[in-house]
Homo-oligomer: A and B are copies of this chain.
Amino acid sequence: MSQADKAVVLLSGGLDSVTVLMMAKARGLECFTLGFDYGQRHTAELNAARELASRYSDHPHQVIQLDLGAIGGSALTSNAIEVPTAGVQAEGIPVTYVPARNTVFLSIAMGYGEVLGATHLMIGANAVDYSGYPDCRPAFIEQFEKLANVATTAVDGGASWTVDAPLMHMSKAEIIAAGVSLGVDYSLTVSCYQADSLGRACGVCDACRLRRQGFFDAEIEDPTRYQPGVIPQV
């Protein structure tokens, strides 16, 4: 029997990336999950990622400290910018965009993969819900795969990298339906931009609304844990 191919799966603690992890497992890949502590406002998402990895991954979750807040430019890493809760996606680039985030995350995943002998990278990038993010587009994923194939020692040894974003063209409802069929317990995931310390969602931020609409469209009961007294909005 041949050894399983190894994959580094970016895991945030949110809904999308754990679905990617379960897809990687379903393909028979040996999975190493990687997450980042990059100055998010809350740690609920990081705690969720650890719990998800302990349930579903082959190895303990690895977290890299990365102070992207020092270069500024995003509501997710700066308290000076308000998180949008209007229920309307502004045109253009969302204020929650972290500059070069997916490029940085994939770069570090590539380094981790090189150390592990893993040449599959998997990421929950999605062009449907996040079309404003340049680093969530197919052209970006393709170009990063090309970069990986000139950037690393693994290639000198004859290996070739794949960078896969299996959610790219799926709606939130399709992602949720796929994850449920693969056995994901989404009550363990945190999507909310302003979750409390227990990981309970606010129910009104854009991430909460998008998520709740996904469960509604998938005709699956929303298992999200909300903060007391919250009436979730779509």
Give the B-binding residues of A (Cβ under 8 A). Answer: 62-68, 70-73, 93, 97-104, 107-108, 110-112, 114-115, 134-135, 137, 139-140, 143-144, 146-147, 150-153, 155-156
Q: A-side binding surface: helix, strand, loop or mixed?
A: helix
Q: How far is the CA of A124 from the CA of B31 in the complex (A)?
A: 35
**When A134-B151, A150-B139 are in contact, do A99 and B115 touch as well, CB less than 8 Å?**
yes
Copies of this chain, tallied across the complex: 2
Having A71-B111, A99-B111, one finds 16 other A-B pairs with CB under 8 Å, namely A62-B71, A65-B65, A68-B108, A68-B111, A99-B114, A100-B151, A104-B111, A107-B107, A134-B151, A134-B153, A134-B155, A137-B150, A140-B147, A143-B146, A143-B151, A144-B151
A39 closest partner in B (C-beta): B65
In the complex, how many angstroms separate the beta carbon of A63 from the nearest chain B beta carbon? 7
Give me 7 A-to-B residue pairs in the complex whose CB atoms sit less than 8 angstroms apart, sorted by A's number.
A63-B70, A66-B66, A73-B114, A100-B108, A100-B114, A103-B107, A134-B151
Q: In chain B, what residue has the closest Cβ to A112? A: B71
Residues of B with C-beta under 8 A to A143 = 143, 146-147, 150-151
Q: Are B64 and A71 in contact (CB under 8 A)?
A: yes
Q: How far is the CA of A62 from the CA of B70 in the complex (A)?
A: 8
Which residues of the partner chain B approach A139 to less than 8 Å between Cβ atoms?
150
Contact B151 A103 (CB under 8 A): yes
Q: Which B residues are CB-close (under 8 A) to A67? A: 64-66
Question: A109: shortest Cβ distance to chain B, in Å?
Answer: 8
Closest 3 CB pairs of A and B: A100-B111, A99-B111, A73-B115
Contacts of A64 in B (CB 8 A): 66-68, 70-71
Partner of A104, one of B71, B104, B155: B104
Q: For the complex formed, measure the closest distance between the CB of A27 and the CB atoms of chain B, giving whole angstroms.
A: 23
Q: Are B93 and A100 in contact (CB under 8 A)?
A: no
